[in-house]
Amino acid sequence: MKIGVVTFPGSLDDGDAARAARYAGAEAVRLWHADPDLHGVDAVVLPGGFSYGDYLRCGAIARFAPVMETITKAANDGLPVLGICNGFQILCEAHLLPGALTRNQHLHFRNRDQRIQIENTQTAWTRDFTGSQEIVIPVKNGEGCYVGSPELLDQLEADGQIVARYVGENPNGSMRDIAAVRNEAGNVVGIMPHPEHAIDLLTGPSTDGLGFFTSVLKAYAAASVPAPYQPGVVPPAEDAPEEVEA
């Protein structure tokens, strides 16, 4: 499986995301923001790292990158996409995910190991976790406060689109302690904490983050397996010759 990792101007976590993809057993393919070609990847990661310096709203400029036009079309067709931190912001700005990310309520940058609870395992990026599983991965952001209207938040709750919540102290004031959300189909996930920084104990607080990357490999494998045989059901012959009238 090939996982593409996009580099935007100012990105600093693209290398870590590519490393996490390789740790999971995938081939990491580096994608450049100005190149609309996805080079045949089977999934995409939009990494964190202050793309374009965050001079406007986070992700507001990056969403217009040529590669994002291709990713948006592919995501709407089912391509698994994971947006981490700044990547989460880009997905919201590109309208691939609902809601928005704003300045932390306390107006301070937060950088620490954070406990979160996985709320939904029915996505391409969380199927390797168990329901209500608590994991520890780093969080580092200045604009990580997830916001939405009460109606939107109620809808996300009802549809199971909240993927993860903060446990304990909320690091940025996100409404309803939301740390990650998904689209309706479940192939697009945005998460504010950084799973790519928790893939081995040498460099992170845990290996909990690796599950996001192994999950998409399993989703890809499951999608590649033919439908099980059903007695009495004859599959259509794709290359059957056309009937010729006598």
Catalytic residues: 85, 194, 196
Q: What is the DSSP letter of 142?
A: S
- Count of CB atoms situated within 10 Å of the CB of 211: 23
Whole-angstrom distance, CA of residue 246 vs CA of residue 37: 49
Contact at 8 Å (CB) between 43 and 216? Answer: yes
Please state, in angstroms and as integers, the Cα–Cα distance from residue 174 to each residue in 37, 60, 64, 78, 191, following that order.
34, 19, 26, 28, 12
Whole-angstrom distance, CA of residue 61 vs CA of residue 72: 15
DSSP H helices in 135-201: 150-159
- CA 217 to centroid of chain Cα atoms: 13
The alpha carbon torsion through 79, 85, 89, 94 (nearest 10 deg) reads -20
Contact at 8 Å (CB) between 49 and 86? Answer: yes
